[in-house]
Structure 1
């Protein structure tokens, strides 16, 4: 039973048809799953003396009888978070992230406790996840590994045995001379914020740079292969950056909660800190730095435009959320109150107005960089009115804004590969023309 965006209840349906469901007594914000003899619980708040972000295993029948003795399968620390887990018939595959890079282990329950062994084949600065198991049938599993310069690769293995590479996506851009690095920026409150830089291995100095971010809804910005980024940006000599700001899940539940509600500004401070750090490291200049984000990331782009316009040379916002005083009255917006706050509650309205790009447009102060807004008439999640109103207000105040609206495509902003290609060409042409020095 889903209570709101972040809370739910789990019930056991008894075999007797007329017996009422039995609520499993775990916190409403926790994740819970039952497999054979085991109840596994992922905490999002401290519980039974364990910190948020812990993975616990209970004997299910004993738990129903009131026993709360747990096996601790994972405990987070400042740099490591739970990424997920999957059961096979007799084993649990545990995925974690250490500074946003994947690690995988094989855990096996037994009479003497749980045995652990690393799952091989996960290179540094990459993302790995289990794609399929059949926990009712056996211990076979499939897992997927990708990175900024590594095409997605599918592996098949048997828990406790060997694994093999089954298939790899084709390499769609030349990676020679490119490298992936990770750095950390210091945010306004002293928090260390991770980010990845993909670009020339020899680091020739300031270059046109595209910085991407999201910062919300527990979505982590992790390494991943993108042919479009490779061919449309990296192959032209650009540098690509992905920031793991607060609001995501890069470091577990606390990283998400740190930017909830009235603390949303932490995500914006983190993103601005990464922008400044890129310039301080001579990776780019403010005039050569473009930023891009969509949906909640579009809200981030709007916030950057109105809060720190001097940091950027161009901004791209896809299907953006921009009016934070009316978002809950449009389409799916009411479901996001648990993330942002309630505009009808005076206690929340003040901070929502402060982070609402539509209400923060001004005519004084530093000039705004050019903005490209993309939306869809058929977006059924973030209403296109957000982008339309923002474009109108910016033009009213004399700020440079470009606006493109597809008639279809929903929240993806495109209905087919042709429209997607058009959007990507539009975005990368807009950015490249504005971030490269004129000759």
Structure 2
């Protein structure tokens, strides 16, 4: 999901409290920072502490997770800007983190030497604000300045400040954006102008809480004096702008998002004239040098030809602007494949294709002359005597090192039982691999001896084949003594987001090493099989996500892996809505539920914080005909006190300005009043991620695992 906050960056408690239906006796809990709601939060936090955080096992869990999060052996993820590699790093010494850089020569060593640019802990202490890092944009090509974003307590609303990379200090009287949802980016190569999309006063934000306008702000002037380039409607999702820094292809674009899957992209020309790219509003256009790519979400008929949803098309950008509509199909979906991603290098386009949720990589080389075809070949993960080792059922991701200058890729591999690795891979003019350089690898954070990974498929209620991954002990001749096993089933099922295999030291230490089975369900609503997989569970079809998840739960029982008393469900955000529907719609299938930063009141969701931005996903509850189907997946309204429900842990964050904490608060209060087994914990900091520091993250994860161990064993 994308992010919302009130125009001044604070939570919109007044809107929540005044417009709620009078029939809701728990409406008062929507007042985020109210005295009485926070007293209620502290009372239930104390109960959760006493029930979960007082045990020796909890402390073992918390300590083990924190050791993983704070490990100095983590892979420093970097981006290349000129001669430097930039990284943001947190550990036990740097709780809120440091932004730093090094050179390629140093990064290749076992102990790189880092130049610290910003110490966020020191900044937070000096300014008396719990700053959380939100990223930086380095000015290209000079590489002398950066625009640094910082969030108060982890909220989506943040500030942006100009930073001098030479003096390593914030620029006095430089560009500075006040706290708001939105952002700021360089508008040219000089650094004397920025594009800013933020709260600039009454009427400048959408009903979703995001910027409605984009402006060009020139150095030396006030933000209020900046020139407006584009203004969308108040009912839009958001507006933004970006400057393409590619040498010889510098250009500017404005993006107007009306809804999650409905947007327009404009080329910003001389005198700020906007020209809309004539592609479907549901598609995702992209530009690299002379090429335009269009990733389709729906079928598109143009110039007498129909291209399927999920396809990737390409055309020369100037030809397209001149009216040509002859596209090259670079990728077309099949029944088992989807496009997971694409990355441009200087001369090549690398496609990452999922085939039954397993990665396959291809290198495409565009033609140099008119009429010549694109060349295609598999990406070879071996160069010379070195190769990228791929564990079975792993995830592989690629990204360009510097798409403006070279044909080099970052290659990351990760599996449930295989620690993540990072390599550099270089391509020649034909797209062949010339070198593979292993750079970094995670240590093994848990003992995987005797564990293995399986992929299974189950038939959902409507006959659809649904995959899921299972991590468990190797089968033995007589498995009766370990079955049924405590089993944790997770999923997401929304916003075209795929759940892929990945290494988690926290899950390994806290669950797998201790005898638990871990399962990831690839249910509809996600992106595992492309846009059609997502669209199969939109709005009135939402129930299919929940039927898929329930089918996986039944299959785990049917295969003898576990039984309902030992099966737990866990999900966050949209995944919190998923497990909320397990709690109310399929309570007989589970022995415990962990529901994190969830949506639950689907009648009110579009009036709370960023909720209005998700109506393309769920529907509009204020439209009576749509509320009729939305109410069928609104856990807050489906809760029946007469039904036997599994124990549930709700967690959220006071500083979550994306999904309102009132969802979790009200559901917990409603169930507690009915005498249900409910545990509630709300982190005061953290934003939508639930935690602002590694210590907070370790605590939040540990209480979830402790809750599951208590209820499932």
- TM-score interval w.r.t. the shorter chain? over 0.9
For the pair shown, which has the larger CA radius of gyration, 1 or 2? Answer: 2
Instruction: Tell me the alpha carbon deviations over residues 225-269 of structure 1, each in whole angstroms, 9 at most, x when there is no partner.
Output: 111100000000110000010111010001111111111111000
Report if the CA contact (8 A) 2:583-2:593 is conserved.
yes
Q: For residue 100 of structure 1, what is the aligned residue in structure 2? A: 357
| d(CA) in 2 for partners of 1:130, 1:157 | 9
- 2:466/2:548 contact within 8 Å kept: yes
Unaligned runs of 5+ in 2: 1-255, 382-387
**1:262 equivalent in structure 2:** 540
3-state SS of paired residue (1:143): strand
Give how far 1:20 is off: 2.0
Alignment pair present for 1:31 and 2:259: no
Cross-structure match for 1:18 = 271
Q: Which residue does the alignment assign to 2:605? A: 327
Q: State the alpha-carbon separation in 1 of the partners of residues 678 and 654 from structure 2.
A: 19
In structure 2, how many angstroms separate the alpha carbons of the residues matched to 1:138 and 1:368? 57
Q: Which residue of 2 aligns with 1:393?
A: 670
Corresponding residue of 2:397: 129
Q: Aligned partners of 1:227 and 1:105: how far apart in 2?
A: 30
Deviation string, structure 1 residues 20-74 (Cα, Å, up to 9, x no partner): 2221111011011111221111000001311110011112222222222221111
**In the alignment, structure 1 residue 188 sits paired with structure 2 residue 461:** yes
1:4 aligned partner: 259
Cα distance in 2 for residues equivalent to 1:12 and 1:320: 38
Separation in 1 of the partners of 2:515 and 2:293? Answer: 47
TM-score (norm 2): 0.60
Q: Of the candidates 140, 145, 152, which is equivalent to residue 420 of structure 2?
A: 152
Secondary structure at 1:61's aligned position in 2?
A: helix
Q: Offset of 1:82 from its aligned partner?
A: 0.3
Q: What are the residue-to-residue correspondences of 1:307-326 with 2, within 5 Å?
A: 307-326=585-604
Question: C-alpha displacement at 1:94, in angstroms?
Answer: 0.5
Post-superposition offset of 1:347? 1.6
Aligned to 2:689, which of 402, 412, 420?
A: 412
Counterpart position of 1:61: 318
Cα distance in 2 for partners of 1:360, 1:25 equals: 44
- Residue 244 of structure 1 corresponds to 522
What is the DSSP-based 3-state SS (H/G/I as helix, E as strand, rest coil) of the residue aligned with 1:236? coil
Q: Which runs of 5+ in 1 are unaligned?
A: none
Q: Does 1:430 align with 2:707?
A: yes
Q: CA deviation at 1:299?
A: 0.7
Counterpart Cα distance in 2 of 1:45 and 1:239: 38
Please give the alpha-carbon distance, in whole angstroms, between the structure 2 residues aligned to 1:13 and 1:191: 45
Paired positions, count: 433
| Change in 2 beyond 3 A, CA 1:396/1:5 | same
2:472 & 2:563 partners in 1: Cα distance?
15
**How much has 1:87 moved relative to structure 2?**
0.6
Task: Tell me the CA shift for residue 283 of structure 1.
Answer: 1.1
With 60-69 and 232-241 compared, the bigger mean Cα shift is at 60-69
Cα distance per residue 1:193-226 (max 9 Å; x no partner) = 1100011122634311000011111111110111
Match of residue 42 from structure 1: 295
Partner SS for 1:3: strand
| CA displacement, residues 119-143 of structure 1 (integer Å, 9 cap, x when unaligned) | 2244441112223332211211212
Mapped to 1, the partners of 2:465 and 2:669 lie a distance apart of 37
Q: Distance in 2 between matches of 1:341 and 1:63?
A: 35
